[in-house]
């Protein structure tokens, strides 16, 4: 019998993701890949996989799955409420701690807690198809594993192989919330009035419900444009903050359209991206200006922290 998960409830937005795909922006294909890279690599490290292996990413409500097969361990990372339903008992799960499951056990990923994305990794490999070297699912163009679609109720996820080494691991890690999103001025910063610039860096913005893997919309005081509300369409990268014609910011996330025509007021620094994507609708945030060299140093620090966490698990 093949080892597999039966999906009883797929969850809100559950997809396979890995490190994403490079060098395809020019044909209109974005990077994609796991939104919160640190929680993604930690999930793989905890179960003894390669750090760039595929995992299941979920948003808000996660999947409820029933396991069929030989004993396997799994982990959930992020800030997630979940339980493991065994034949005789139920266990409330802790993130960053691996658990063994056996034939017939269920994992119920109830929801993320004051955050958006969580990761589910197994000590082994899912049976997936890759496109351009990545399994990452892009639901807009139906690229990647699972025919480019979200996971659906009552489908099956086959497991290709189970790691021989199933060592139980645990990590003490707490996701801190991002109070201020640090931003480098964008290429159209001067399209905005002095008052508009001031508002951007001083006032509070609220994350809108209209946010997904493509982009995050924010609501707040109007940021006045004094030049032109459209620019000639040009390339985008993740983290770019565009101000739309209605004066509100929209931040490009991992599945963003590769080209866009709204002025760019700023770009979120790489070191803050993981925490940015975890801001849930209704939460408040502020932007803070930062210089390029400081942003580069903060990224080095971020990398050192991530590597320290990974080395604790070796």
* Residues at the contact surface with other proteins, assessed by CB under 8 A: 22-29, 31, 131-132, 138, 140-143, 148, 184, 186-187, 232-237, 239-240, 257-260, 264, 267-270, 292, 295-296, 299, 303
Instruction: Kindly tell me which of 107 and 276 has the beta carbon lying closer to other proteins.
Output: 276
CB of 27 to other proteins, least distance (A): 5
Burial 136-158 (b: 16+ CB within 10 A, else e): bbbbbeebbbbebebbeeeeebe
Instruction: Kindly tell me which of 64 and 267 has the beta carbon lying closer to other proteins.
Output: 267
Contact 54, 128 (CB under 8 A): yes
CB of 69 to other proteins, least distance (A): 31
CB of 255 to other proteins, least distance (A): 10
Instruction: Kindly tell me which of 118 and 263 has the beta carbon lying closer to other proteins.
Output: 263
Instruction: Kindly tell me which of 24 and 178 has the beta carbon lying closer to other proteins.
Output: 24
CB of 267 to other proteins, least distance (A): 3
CB of 106 to other proteins, least distance (A): 34
> Taking CA 223 as the corner, what is the angle to CA 219 and CA 229, rounded to the nearest 5 degrees?
105
Instruction: Kindly tell me which of 31 and 58 has the beta carbon lying closer to other proteins.
Output: 31
Instruction: Kindly tell me which of 43 and 251 has the beta carbon lying closer to other proteins.
Output: 251
CB of 100 to other proteins, least distance (A): 34
Contacts of 255 (CB under 8 A, 6+ apart): 30, 32, 138, 139, 140, 212, 213, 214
């Amino acid at each position: 019998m093949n080892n597999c998960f039966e999906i009883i409830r797929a969850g809100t937005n559950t997809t396979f993701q890995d490190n994403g795909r490079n060098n395809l922006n020019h044909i209109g294909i974005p990077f994609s890949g796991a939104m919160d890279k640190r929680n993604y690599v930690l999930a793989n490290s905890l179960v003894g996989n390669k750090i760039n292996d595929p995992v299941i990413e979920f948003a808000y409500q996660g999947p409820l799955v029933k396991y069929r097969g030989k004993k396997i361990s799994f982990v959930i990372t992020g800030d997630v409420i979940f339980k493991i339903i065994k034949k005789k008992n139920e266990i409330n799960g802790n993130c960053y701690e691996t658990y063994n499951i056996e034939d017939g056990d269920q994992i119920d990923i109830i929801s993320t807690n004051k955050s958006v994305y969580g990761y589910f990794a197994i000590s082994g490999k899912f049976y997936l198809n890759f496109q351009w070297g990545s399994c990452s699912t892009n639901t807009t163009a139906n690229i990647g594993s699972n025919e480019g679609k979200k996971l659906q109720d009552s489908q099956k996820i086959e497991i290709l192989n189970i790691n021989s080494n199933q060592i139980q691991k645990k990590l003490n890690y707490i996701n801190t919330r991002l109070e201020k999103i640090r931003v480098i001025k964008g290429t159209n910063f001067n399209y905005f009035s002095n008052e508009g610039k001031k508002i951007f860096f001083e006032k509070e913005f609220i994350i809108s419900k209209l946010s997904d893997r493509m982009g995050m919309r924010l609501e707040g005081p109007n940021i006045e444009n004094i030049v032109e509300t459209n620019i000639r369409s040009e390339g985008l990268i993740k983290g770019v903050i565009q101000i739309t014609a209605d004066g509100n910011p929209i931040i490009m996330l991992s599945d963003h359209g590769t080209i866009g025509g709204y002025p760019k007021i700023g770009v979120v620094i790489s070191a803050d991206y993981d925490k940015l994507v975890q801001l849930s609708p209704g939460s408040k945030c502020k932007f803070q200006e930062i210089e390029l060299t400081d942003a580069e140093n903060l990224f080095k620090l971020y990398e050192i922290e991530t590597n320290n966490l990974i080395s604790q698990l070796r």
